């Protein structure tokens, strides 16, 4: 698939253009320079032609660490790209940062299209020729916010792409890394990919966008999403952090599996459990990942303590597998992907109706439902109504007789007989005469 990356100084509208190309609001957009830091990936489609798009942080002259990290991320994006969209601001004069980026792109020897953004009136469009000073042959004026020139941009990008059947990513396992700030999610992304894909910093809240990465593991394709650290609502001060939280929630919604990253040095907090609850509430498969295990002394003793702690603190998700690892040293990192794959498969597991009813029949014979005011629950028939997560419908004499403890008993019996490790399962009780 052809790869296109957007490069430019801060606040030229790269993220707005990125969102216009992929047709959804994936990058955070605010009128404040420096919002996008990592590479953001998306898939665009135009007239049955697909291409990959990478958004990058704004490049400007300076020698602070974040600018260096953003520069490194942009360099990686240029290396990956077949075409670079050099986005400049049509409202302002060319700056030293623009010429610095120009020199960087000339050295890279990639195909470059200068995209002059914010060209939302005729006078600006007539003034486009001043941007030939950058020394590139192809220039196009657009306005991402007003959709001006977007069709021409699509046509330029796709001119050498043959029509395809729109490679579908919906069939791929998509998993996201969620958790509090600074638990090591970005380090874990880099360890899985074995490259410095996300900016890793000791400053909590470095990742602000949810970043998608497609990669191959044992011959199978996956999509991994790194999300911003989810703070408690009372601690969200900046608008940017509010947007980041929304992106994280959207990433959970769009994923099949959520990997909750915990900090082995800090233990389990109430907020960790709250974040796990968000994933379960969304009906997603869940894997618990205890990171920074390299920092733990007496690991055998701590392992036993952690197992008891997890059992106690995550009573609501006892089905979630646990992986202890270190993203920093990559110790035990190989254990994570198999658990994600198993959770994904179980999330989509379908059980034969005959086998399901046999299990429930045996469960009823082993332990009858309690009676209430002389009435006892009767289960006539059970079938699976859906997957991701698996959903079971019980046809009963009176759904008002279902006690939560007996519902839990039935869930345990189903889990004992069928492998639903990593995924929640949903029950629905209907009266037999109910439509």
What's the pLDDT at 164? Answer: 53
What's the pLDDT at 357? Answer: 96
Stated as kind and residue range, the H or E segment containing 277 is helix 270-281
User: What residues are paired with 177 via a beta bridge?
Assistant: 226, 259
CA distances 245 to 47, 97, 180, Å, are 33, 31, 11
Strand pairing class (3-7; 49-55)? parallel
> Which residues have a Cβ under 8 Å from the Cβ of 147 and sit 6 or more positions away?
20
44-47 contacts, C-beta under 8 A, 24 or more apart: 44/4, 44/154, 44/157, 45/166, 46/154, 46/155, 46/157, 46/158, 47/154, 47/158, 47/163
- Only one residue has tokens 């992907």, namely 337
Bond into 389 cis (ω within 30): yes
Tell me phi and psi for residue 278, to 5 degrees.
-65, -40
- Only one residue has tokens 């360099």, namely 75
3-state DSSP percent of the chain in helix, strand and coil, to 5: 40, 25, 40
In tens digits, the chain (435 residues) has pLDDT values of 789 999 999 999 999 999 999 887 666 555 666 655 667 878 888 988 888 898 988 998 775 655 777 887 788 889 889 999 999 999 999 999 999 999 999 999 999 999 999 998 877 777 888 999 999 999 999 999 999 999 999 999 999 887 653 444 456 899 999 988 889 898 999 899 886 666 555 555 555 555 778 888 998 889 888 777 655 555 444 444 455 556 677 778 889 999 999 999 999 988 899 889 989 988 999 999 999 999 988 888 999 999 999 999 999 999 999 999 999 999 999 999 999 999 999 999 999 999 999 999 999 999 999 888 789 999 999 999 999 999 999 999 999 899 999 999 999 999 999 999 999 999 999 998 765
Query: What's the rounded Cα separation, in Å, for the pair 218 and 158?
Result: 31
First vs last C-alpha separation in the chain = 48
Tell me phi and psi for residue 85, to 5 degrees.
-95, 105
What's the pLDDT at 108? Answer: 92
What's the pLDDT at 203? Answer: 55
- Only one residue has tokens 């601690």, namely 235
> Which residues have a Cβ under 8 Å from the Cβ of 96 and sit 6 or more positions away?
61
What's the pLDDT at 48? Answer: 84
Stated as kind and residue range, the H or E segment containing 54 is strand 49-55
Angle between helices 353-366 and 404-417 (to 10 degrees): 130
What's the pLDDT at 229? Answer: 63
CB 246, CB 197: distance < 8 Å? no
CB 408, CB 367: distance < 8 Å? no
What's the pLDDT at 159? Answer: 92
Tell me phi and psi for residue 364, to 5 degrees.
-65, -40
CB 131, CB 94: distance < 8 Å? yes
What's the pLDDT at 165? Answer: 39
Tell me phi and psi for residue 385, to 5 degrees.
-100, -20
Query: What's the rounded Cα separation, in Å, for the pair 61 and 116?
Result: 20
Query: What's the rounded Cα separation, in Å, for the pair 257 and 338?
Result: 12
Burial of 273 (0-12, 13-18, 19+ CB in 10 A): middle
């Amino acid at each position: 698939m052809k790869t296109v990356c957007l490069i430019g100084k801060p606040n030229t509208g790269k993220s707005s253009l990125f969102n216009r190309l992929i047709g959804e609001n994936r990058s955070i957009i605010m009128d404040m320079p420096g919002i996008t830091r990592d590479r953001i990936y998306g898939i665009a489609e135009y007239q049955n032609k697909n291409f990959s798009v990478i958004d990058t942080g704004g490049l400007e002259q300076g020698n602070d660490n974040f600018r260096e990290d953003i520069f490194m991320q942009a360099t990686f994006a240029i290396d990956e790209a077949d075409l670079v969209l050099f986005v400049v601001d049509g409202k302002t004069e060319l700056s030293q940062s623009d010429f610095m980026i120009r020199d960087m792109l000339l050295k890279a020897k990639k195909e470059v299209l200068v995209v002059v953004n914010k060209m939302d009136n005729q006078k600006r469009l007539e003034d486009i020729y001043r941007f030939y000073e950058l020394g590139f042959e192809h220039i196009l004026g657009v306005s991402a916010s007003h959709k001006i020139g977007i069709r021409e941009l699509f046509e330029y990008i796709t001119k050498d792409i043959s029509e395809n059947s729109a490679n579908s990513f919906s069939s791929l396992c998509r998993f996201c890394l969620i958790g509090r700030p600074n638990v090591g999610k970005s380090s874990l992304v880099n360890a899985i990919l074995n490259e410095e894909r996300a900016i890793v910093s000791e400053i909590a809240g470095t990742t602000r966008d949810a970043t998608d990465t497609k990669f191959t593991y044992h011959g199978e394709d996956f999509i991994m999403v790194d999300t911003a650290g989810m703070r408690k609502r009372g601690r969200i001060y900046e608008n940017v952090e509010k947007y980041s939280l929304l992106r994280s929630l959207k990433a959970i919604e769009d994923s099949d599996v959520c990997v909750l990253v915990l900090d082995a040095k800090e233990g389990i907090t109430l907020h960790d459990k709250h974040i796990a609850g968000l994933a379960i509430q969304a009906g997603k498969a869940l894997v618990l990942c205890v990171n920074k295990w390299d920092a733990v002394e007496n690991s055998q003793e701590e392992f036993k303590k952690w197992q008891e702690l997890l059992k106690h603190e995550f009573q609501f998700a006892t089905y979630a597998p646990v992986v202890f690892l270190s993203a920093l040293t990559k110790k035990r990192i190989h254990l994570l992907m198999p658990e994600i794959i198993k959770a994904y498969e179980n999330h989509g597991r379908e059980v034969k109706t005959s086998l399901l009813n046999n299990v429930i029949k045996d469960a009823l014979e082993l332990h009858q439902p309690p009676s209430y005011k002389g009435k006892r629950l009767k289960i006539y028939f059970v079938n699976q109504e859906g997957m991701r997560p698996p959903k079971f419908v019980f046809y009963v004499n009176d759904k008002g007789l279902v006690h939560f403890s007996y519902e839990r008993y039935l869930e345990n019996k189903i889990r004992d007989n069928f492998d639903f490790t990593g995924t929640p399962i949903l029950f629905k009780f209907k009266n037999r005469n109910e439509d």
